[in-house]
Amino acid sequence: MPYLALIRHGESQWNLENRFTGWTDVDLSEKGVQQSREAGRRLHGSGYTFDTAFTSYLRRAIRTLWIVQDHMDQMWIPEFKDWRLNERHYGALQGEDKAAFQEIYGKEQVHQWRRSYAVRPPQLEPDDPRHARFEPKYRGLEPGEIPAAESLADTVHRVLPCWREQLQPRLRAGSDLVVAAHGNSLRGLVKYLEGIADDAIPHLDIPLAVPRIYEFGDDGAIRRCFYLREEGEEEL
Ligand SMILES: O=C(O)[C@H](O)COP(=O)(O)O
């Protein structure tokens, strides 16, 4: 029975500082490194091994994956980076203080930006130095593919082709996969996998560095889904 482990990166420096991050390439905090080590040890201790690993173009997810693989003695497995697993693009909010913005725009507006399905945060201007079009790593993307702000719906729209082209065919062929990604790119994937309704998605939060494991049957249907927590498996 193939399995898929989804892991949100450990705490980043901007999670710690409570700033909107999105496509900004900040690294893990010391606590994030520690959380990633624990996730790797836990997966290893529970007997998991993976055939292939996937992550985004952002270092907090890449480093989480590497730390997990190191603690599983699995640094050798093939690893693919796909920009479509990046965090949702937070537009002009990137770098801003979440609490300060709540003071200015109100709790409800900030909640809409952070958790709703369809609301897009304010866009980055094309000449804003924070725009991803200035970053060499996105050179291979079509101009229309580089976002200036994304709703969760936009994020789902680019994550799903990655699922269909990269992840699903490998699971169908019997491979066990690990994906280290982000709070909102994983919310988008989980929404699709579990058929969560648009109006129920604001209630889904993915914790930092806790493996969320899906076991699939031979028919491709999900048999079981659980978090692998320190205290043991938590069925979902
Ligand atoms: O991009 C960010 O700021 C975080 O990774 C996720 O933030 P959120 O919990 O505000 O969506």
How confident is the model over 65-110, as pLDDT tens digits? 999 999 999 999 999 999 999 999 999 999 999 999 999 999 999 9
Average pLDDT over residues 197-225: 95
Residue nearest to atom 7 of ligand 1 (CA): 20
Instruction: Just list the catalytic residues.
Output: 9, 87
* Ligand 1 centroid, distance to 28 Cα (angstroms): 14
Regarding the beta carbon of 20 and ligand 1, being less than 6 Å apart is answered: yes
Mean pLDDT of 19-29: 98
Please report which confidence band the pLDDT of residue 213 belongs to, taking 50, 70 and 90 as the band edges: very high
SS3 content of the chain, % helix, strand, coil (to 5): 45, 15, 40
Q: Which residues are annotated as a binding site?
A: 8-15, 21-22, 60, 87-90, 98, 114-115, 183-184
% of the chain at pLDDT higher than 90: 98
| Most distant CA atoms of the chain, gap in Å | 51
Residue 43: which residues within 8 A CB-CB, separation 6 or more?
A: 5, 68, 71, 72, 211, 228
Total structural domains within the chain: 1
Predicted pLDDT of residue 178: 98
How confident is the model at residue 1, as a pLDDT? 81
Q: Is the pLDDT of residue 218 over 90?
A: no
What mean pLDDT comes out for the span 158-179?
97
> What CATH number is given to the structural domain containing 228?
3.40.50.1240
Range of the domain at 111: 3-235
Residue 180 confidence (pLDDT):
98
Q: What's residue 143's pLDDT?
A: 86
Evaluate whether 152 touches 88 at the Cβ level (below 8 Å).
Answer: yes
- State pLDDT tens for residues 60-69: 999 999 999 9
Distance CA 190, CA 187 (A): 5
**What is the torsional sign of CA 105, 106, 109, 112?**
positive
